[in-house]
Amino acid sequence: MDNLTFISNSITALAWPIATIVIVILLRSEISSLLGRIKKIKHKDSEIDLAGEVSDAVKSADKILSKSVAEKTPEQERFGRLAEDSPRGAILDSWLSIEEAMDEYARRHGIESQNPHSPPYQRIQSIQLHNLDVATLGHGIIEMLDKLRRIRNDAVHRTDADITTAIAKDYAALAVRVKARLEEA
């Protein structure tokens, strides 16, 4: 193979990948806005529907949680402002407040954790095992904690462009309600 043939074959082989990269670079802002509109992601057998999950969690919460939490607590207002700037950050910060409430609940009820830095699902399991004996929370709250944990995990692996402000605000409002229930029990 001579040099000209090699160069010709190389250009032919690289033309489409280079064109694709150039198009993505030129249209990155448009692509980013399109990705922000995606509500559902499906790959092979896995499917993530963050908006649907939050909506389902809110419906479940309406059945098991009282509406005693004020519409706009200072914490919820803070989460709302954060959701405007960083929807993903609002979800993550809301979850941290739930983790703090779970830790406080565990301390109040003498639930011993094997490790103070244990993952959230282990904390939820510890509370669930304690709740079987005492029934202070009810089974619905345990399920709600697990739903919120899964939604938070989905949010961790996304970008702010993937999560709408409305989803983040709904999640934060739900987190405030669940936290209040943990604090009451």
pLDDT at 71: 59
Q: What share of the chain is helix, strand, coil (3-state, %, to 5)?
A: 75, 5, 20
Under 8 Å CB-to-CB from 134, ≥6 apart: which residues?
A: 109
- Mean pLDDT rounded to a whole number for the chain: 78
CA angle (179, 60, 70) in 5-degree steps: 45
- Which percentage of the chain shows pLDDT scores above 90? 5
Nearest to 49 by CA among 177, 167, 178: 167
pLDDT at 95: 92
Rounded average pLDDT over 154-179: 84
Q: Which two tokens stand for residue 124?
A: 């939820």
Angle between helices 120-134 and 87-108 (to 10 degrees): 40
The 10s digit of each residue's pLDDT in 56-98 is 777 766 666 655 544 577 888 888 888 888 888 999 999 999 9
pLDDT at 4: 84
The answer to whether 155 and 92 have CB atoms below 8 angstroms apart is yes
pLDDT at 165: 86
pTM of the predicted structure, to 2 decimals:
0.64
At 180, is the pLDDT very low, low, confident or very high (cuts 50, 70, 90)? confident
Nearest to 148 by CA among 185, 123, 117: 123
pLDDT at 70: 45
